[in-house]
Amino acid sequence: MRFDDKVVVVTGAAQGIGKAACRRFLEQGAKVAMWDMNGEKLSAAAKELDPNGERIMTVIVNVADRASVNDAVRAVLERWSAIDVLINNAGITRDGMLHKLDPDDFDRVLDVNLKGVFHCGQAVANTMRERGRGAIVNTASVVGVFGNVGQTNYAAAKAGVIGMTRTWAKELGRRGIRVNAVAPGFTATDMLASVPEKALDAIRERTPLGRLGSPEEIANAYLFLASDEASYVTGAVLGVDGGLVL
């Protein structure tokens, strides 16, 4: 029970990797605040994970809106008085080749995937600074390290997340706050639902382990980096990609 009585905030918690992360933290004794924009999916996920609602609270949050984030932080503090771990997992895609990428789609992806990480990280870090401890795990991507065709906006956002992660690790380390990132490869979530099977087969073929990742495998990386087992790890970008980057 590595997270017994610790309070964990997970953004993008209603499905996919976020939901898997909530399950793993609950299994390890945590109290979990599930943040997401989709209230219906959020309620369904919370009911599935903790039917009695004893160790879960749900908050409808738009991470791209600072006021919404501030309200969510206040709600968690009012119920549980502290935030020990932030998992900055919320993200979207709006793919398009450079010559026809809609500027609005560029802005929207950066608003959620980069600025949203900033909003949540800054708001939660301010509460952690007061206590002199905490762990933040940001979700980057192999795309943020190596780029990807048709994902100018997503690659820019995730590269920015990596830069922020390393900057925050330097700024917050002496305050007792560790900041790391996970860089998933292609993972079997709803985000890949629109990708043709032929393209997925090509990804599997290029991946040394020969398959897509699972949400649980990414969640396990979150769990490690947020735990005391990683107490001397900060500023790291942990690739969980089946060897794809090789």
Q: Is 237 exposed, middle or buried (0-12, 13-18, 19+ CB in 10 A)?
A: middle
**Sign of the alpha-carbon dihedral angle for 167, 7, 15, 227:** positive
Q: Taking the model in full, what pTM does it have?
A: 0.94
pLDDT of residue 199: 77
How many residues belong to the chain?
246
Residue in 25, 154, 168, 186 annotated catalytic: 154
pLDDT of residue 194: 64
pLDDT tens-digit profile, the chain (246 residues): 899 989 999 999 999 999 999 999 999 999 999 999 999 999 999 999 999 999 999 999 999 999 999 999 999 999 999 999 999 999 999 999 999 999 999 999 999 999 999 999 999 999 999 999 999 999 999 999 999 899 999 999 999 999 999 999 999 999 999 999 999 988 877 766 667 787 788 888 888 888 888 999 999 999 999 999 999 999 999 999 988 887
Report the candidate in 22, 127, 116 with the shortest Cα–Cα distance to residue 61: 116
What domains can be seen in the chain, in order of their start residue? 7-237 (3.40.50.720)
232 in active site = no
